[in-house]
Amino acid sequence: MCEYCGKRIQVKIQRPVIRLAKNFNMNLETPNPSQEVMCTCSGTKRDYIQVLFAQGMDIQAISRWTGALSGCGGCEWDIADFLKELAEQ
């Protein structure tokens, strides 16, 4: 009810519509591990990090090149561990 005029007010609340792509896969596991996104802030994938590492880039260079590790910081340990694995191969 409006406190000024006393009329009843009707409020409509619209719920957001969420549309999924036709080929959306609800499986949360990545079918191809090399396509796993390691940094969600920049969208940097595992295979791209591997290619850059093979070209001689270190973690700082990969960060500057891709934008990984420069957002929320949640990928820092995952990427560091992955590069450590690559270095040991």
Give how many domains the chain has, as a whole number: 1
Classify residue 5: in a domain, yes or no: no
pLDDT, averaged across the chain: 80
pLDDT, residue 21, reads 52
Give the rounded distance of the alpha carbon of 20 from its chain centre. Answer: 18
**Residue 58: closest CA among 40, 76, 75, 83:** 83
SS3 37: strand
- Which of 30-34, 55-59, 79-83, 85-89 has the weakest average pLDDT? 30-34
pLDDT, residue 8, reads 76
State mean pLDDT over 21-30. 53
Print the domain residue range for 49. Answer: 37-88
H-type alpha helices, 28-88: 46-54, 59-66, 76-88
Exposed/middle/buried for residue 57 (C-beta within 10 Å: 0-12, 13-18, 19+): middle
Classify residue 51: in a domain, yes or no: yes
Confidence of residue 23 (pLDDT cuts 50, 70, 90): low
